[in-house]
Amino acid sequence: MVTLETELADAIGDTIISGFVVTANAPADMKVDVATGDALMAAGRFTPAGIELTIPTADPADDRIDIICIADDGVIEGPTENASLKGSPAGTPAPPAVRADT
């Protein structure tokens, strides 16, 4: 079965099967909760437990788009764990340009 899943991931690319819903903490602070999920990736199938991630301090004037991802080892990462996932503040922000292997 593992070989079939690896071949499927190679054919369709890395994909989230279910879960990984991201919600802001209440009351609002610079943390988000990422729910448990199931992902199929070339590196394998992962079902990491939910996690709370700290988001770097916001810019006082401009918005920023950050990325939350699942690394090749199945660990959920945000911009605090991987600086390349942190966007740049701007009047019209865009997500950071990250490589597929980042």
Say what the pLDDT of residue 28 is.
Answer: 81
CA dihedral (27, 18, 44, 66) in degrees, to 10, reads -40
Judge whether 81 and 55 are in contact, CB under 8 Å.
Answer: no
Type of residue at 12: I
pLDDT values of the chain reduced to their tens digit, one per residue, 102 residues:
566 766 776 777 788 889 999 999 888 889 999 999 999 888 888 999 999 999 999 899 999 999 999 998 999 999 999 999 999 999 999 999 876 655
Q: What is the pTM of this model?
A: 0.79
Parse the chain into domains and list their residue ranges: 2-85
Say what the pLDDT of residue 36 is.
Answer: 95
Q: Is 45 left (phi over 0), alpha (psi -120 to 50) or beta?
A: beta
**Residues pairing with 72 in the sheet:** none
Say what the pLDDT of residue 43 is.
Answer: 82
Judge whether 74 and 44 are in contact, CB under 8 Å.
Answer: yes
Angle at 70 between CA 65 and CA 75, to 5 degrees: 125
